[in-house]
Structure 1
């Protein structure tokens, strides 16, 4: 009988850990979606500001479409994080 009680407790603890991982995954997904929305809305402005700060004295082009367009969302998220922490 003691073995069944111990096994039951272990299963409950495993389920508790699994619920914690699910909560972290859900929060990560929410943060990712908010960052994606922000990048889609303000991405060109962020890239222009980052380029202006990286190259001192260089003028920021009015039309950001002159540069090669990148479809990499991961690159945009990385630029957003770098821009947030540096600037």
Structure 2
């Protein structure tokens, strides 16, 4: 096996690994867009339920309702993808 054949084999292996990363990234994007679609479609109803629950809990404690911190899927997906490509 000469040097060119060896380099060709290594290139093919690297290309196969790269294709796996690309497929994973595409699958992640599809899952992300499905999650965002679900949040945009049903988010108002979920937020109304959360507000009703918070107001109900505040009435029981006689306090003003406090909303929890933002739980953005975008930041979670971005962090997951960055960690995947770094590690």
Given the two structures, how large is their TM-score scaled by the length of structure 1? 0.57
> Aligned partners of 2:36 and 2:19: how far apart in 1?
25
Q: CA RMSD in A?
A: 2.9
Gaps of 5+ in 2: 60-69, 75-87
Post-superposition offset of 1:7? 0.2
Gaps of 5+ in 1: 60-71, 79-87
Counterpart for residue 34 of structure 1: 34
Counterpart for residue 67 of structure 1: none
> Aligned partners of 2:2 and 2:55: how far apart in 1?
69
Post-superposition offset of 1:53? 5.3
> Aligned partners of 1:53 and 1:8: how far apart in 2?
62
Counterpart for residue 49 of structure 2: 49
Extract structure 1 runs of 4+ deviating beyond 3 A.
48-56
Any idea what SS the aligned residue of 2:57 has?
Answer: coil
CA 42–13 in structure 1, closer or farther in 2 if over 3 Å, else same: same
Counterpart for residue 81 of structure 1: none
Given the two structures, how large is their TM-score scaled by the length of structure 2? 0.57
Post-superposition offset of 1:48? 3.2
Counterpart for residue 7 of structure 1: 7
